[in-house]
Chains A and B, each alone.
Chain A
Amino acid sequence: MLRYISRRLLSILLSLFLIITATFFLMRAAPGGPFSGEKKLPPEIEKNLNEYYGLDRPWYEQYTDYLVSIAKWDFGPSFKYKGQTVNDLINEGFPVSFFLGMEALLLAVSLGILLGVIAALNHNKWQDYGAMIFAVLGISVPSFIMASLLQYVLAIKLGMFPVARWESLQHTVLPALALAATPMAFIARLTRSSMLEVLSNDYIRTAKAKGLSKGQITVKHAIRNALLPVVTYLGPLSAAVLTGSFVIEKIFGIPGLGSQFVLSISNRDYTTIMGVTVFYSILLLFSVLLVDIAYGLIDPRIKLAGGKKGE
Chain B
Amino acid sequence: MQQLPKEMFQPASVDLSEAEKISKPSLSFWKDVSIRFRKNKLAMFGLVLLILLVFMAIFGPHMTKYDYSTNDLMNTNKPPSAEHWFGTDDLGRDIFTRTWYGARISLFIGLAAALIDLFIGVLWGGIAGFRGGRTDDVMMRIADILWAVPYLLLVILLMVVLGQGLGTMILAMTITGWINMARIVRGQVLQLKSQEYVLAAQTLGANTSRIMFKHLIPNAMGPILVTLTLSIPSAIFTEAFLSYLGLGVPQPLASWGTMASEGVQALQYYPWRLFFPATFICLTIFAFNVVGDGLRDALDPRLRK
For residue B195, give the distance in angstroms from its CB to the closest CB of chain A. 20
For residue A135, give the distance in angstroms from its CB to the closest CB of chain B. 10
16 new A-B contacts, CB < 8 A, other than A142-B244, A148-B274, A281-B150, are A15-B145, A19-B149, A139-B286, A140-B289, A142-B237, A142-B241, A142-B281, A144-B244, A145-B240, A148-B264, A148-B267, A156-B268, A242-B150, A246-B245, A265-B160, A277-B157
Q: Report whether A140 and B246 are in contact in the complex, using a CB–CB cutoff of 8 Å.
A: no
| Residue positions of B touching A, CB distance < 8 A | 144-146, 148-154, 156-158, 160-161, 163, 233, 237, 240-241, 244-247, 260-261, 264, 267-268, 271, 274, 278, 281-283, 285-286, 289-290
C-alpha gap A265/B155 in the complex (Å): 12
Provided the pairs A142-B240, A273-B160 are in contact, do residues A243 and B148 lie with their beta carbons within 8 angstroms? no
Across the interface, A30 reaches (CB within 8 A) one of B161, B271, B286, B290, namely B161
19 contacts between A and B (CB under 8 A): A12-B148, A19-B149, A23-B157, A27-B161, A29-B161, A30-B160, A30-B161, A137-B282, A142-B237, A142-B244, A144-B264, A145-B264, A239-B151, A242-B150, A247-B244, A265-B245, A265-B247, A266-B246, A281-B149
What per-residue 1/0 map shows which CB atoms of A15-36 lie under 8 Å from chain B?
1001100110011011100000
Residue A173 interfacial (CB < 8 Å): no
Residues of B contacting A142 in the complex (Cβ-Cβ under 8 angstroms): 237, 240-241, 244, 260, 278, 281-282
Q: Report whether A247 and B158 are in contact in the complex, using a CB–CB cutoff of 8 Å.
A: no
Q: Report whether B268 and A152 are in contact in the complex, using a CB–CB cutoff of 8 Å.
A: yes
Provided the pairs A23-B157, A152-B268 are in contact, do residues A139 and B289 lie with their beta carbons within 8 angstroms? yes
Residue A268 interfacial (CB < 8 Å): yes
Residue A284 interfacial (CB < 8 Å): yes
B153 and chain A: residue at smallest CB distance: A277
Residues of B contacting A156 in the complex (Cβ-Cβ under 8 angstroms): 268
C-alpha gap A144/B265 in the complex (Å): 11
Residues of A contacting B246 in the complex (Cβ-Cβ under 8 angstroms): 265-266
Give the A interface residue count (CB, 8 A).
42
For residue B42, give the distance in angstroms from its CB to the closest CB of chain A. 9
Across the interface, B148 reaches (CB within 8 A) one of A15, A152, A242, namely A15
Q: Report whether A136 and B264 are in contact in the complex, using a CB–CB cutoff of 8 Å.
A: no
C-alpha gap A247/B237 in the complex (Å): 13
C-alpha gap A152/B157 in the complex (Å): 31
The DSSP consensus for interface residues of chain B is helix
The DSSP consensus for interface residues of chain A is helix
Q: Report whether B274 and A145 are in contact in the complex, using a CB–CB cutoff of 8 Å.
A: yes
Provided the pairs A18-B149, A247-B241, A280-B153 are in contact, do residues A139 and B160 lie with their beta carbons within 8 angstroms? no
Across the interface, A145 reaches (CB within 8 A) one of B152, B268, B281, namely B281
Q: Report whether A141 and B163 are in contact in the complex, using a CB–CB cutoff of 8 Å.
A: no
Residue A67 interfacial (CB < 8 Å): no
C-alpha gap A248/B144 in the complex (Å): 30
A139 and chain B: residue at smallest CB distance: B289
Q: Report whether B286 and A136 are in contact in the complex, using a CB–CB cutoff of 8 Å.
A: yes
Provided the pairs A11-B145, A26-B157 are in contact, do residues A262 and B245 lie with their beta carbons within 8 angstroms? yes
Residues of B contacting A18 in the complex (Cβ-Cβ under 8 angstroms): 145-146, 149
Residues of A contacting B144 in the complex (Cβ-Cβ under 8 angstroms): 11
What per-residue 1/0 map shows which CB atoms of A158-185 lie under 8 Å from chain B?
0000000000000000000000000000
Q: Report whether A265 and B156 are in contact in the complex, using a CB–CB cutoff of 8 Å.
A: yes
B282 and chain A: residue at smallest CB distance: A140
Residue A55 interfacial (CB < 8 Å): no
Q: Report whether A26 and B148 are in contact in the complex, using a CB–CB cutoff of 8 Å.
A: no
Across the interface, A15 reaches (CB within 8 A) one of B149, B245, B260, B271, namely B149
Residues of B contacting A246 in the complex (Cβ-Cβ under 8 angstroms): 245
For residue B267, give the distance in angstroms from its CB to the closest CB of chain A. 5
C-alpha gap A18/B157 in the complex (Å): 14
Provided the pairs A11-B144, A30-B160, A148-B274 are in contact, do residues A243 and B289 lie with their beta carbons within 8 angstroms? no
Interface-central residue, B153, B157, B246, B274, by most chain A CB under 10 Å: B153
Residues of A contacting B290 in the complex (Cβ-Cβ under 8 angstroms): 136
Residues of B contacting A9 in the complex (Cβ-Cβ under 8 angstroms): none
Residue A297 interfacial (CB < 8 Å): no
B159 and chain A: residue at smallest CB distance: A265
Residues of B contacting A139 in the complex (Cβ-Cβ under 8 angstroms): 285-286, 289
Across the interface, B163 reaches (CB within 8 A) one of A31, A136, A144, namely A31
B148 and chain A: residue at smallest CB distance: A15
Q: Report whether A284 and B150 are in contact in the complex, using a CB–CB cutoff of 8 Å.
A: yes
- Residues of A235-266 contacting chain B, CB below 8 A: 239, 242-243, 246-247, 251, 262, 265-266
Residues of B contacting A22 in the complex (Cβ-Cβ under 8 angstroms): 149, 154, 157
Residue A219 interfacial (CB < 8 Å): no
Residue A293 interfacial (CB < 8 Å): no
Q: Report whether B148 and A11 are in contact in the complex, using a CB–CB cutoff of 8 Å.
A: yes
C-alpha gap A79/B149 in the complex (Å): 25
Q: Report whether A141 and B282 are in contact in the complex, using a CB–CB cutoff of 8 Å.
A: yes
C-alpha gap A27/B160 in the complex (Å): 9
Provided the pairs A144-B241, A265-B245 are in contact, do residues A26 and B158 lie with their beta carbons within 8 angstroms? yes
Residues of A contacting B163 in the complex (Cβ-Cβ under 8 angstroms): 31
C-alpha gap A288/B290 in the complex (Å): 29
C-alpha gap A277/B158 in the complex (Å): 12
A144 and chain B: residue at smallest CB distance: B244
For residue B294, give the distance in angstroms from its CB to the closest CB of chain A. 12
Provided the pairs A14-B145, A285-B148 are in contact, do residues A247 and B245 lie with their beta carbons within 8 angstroms? yes
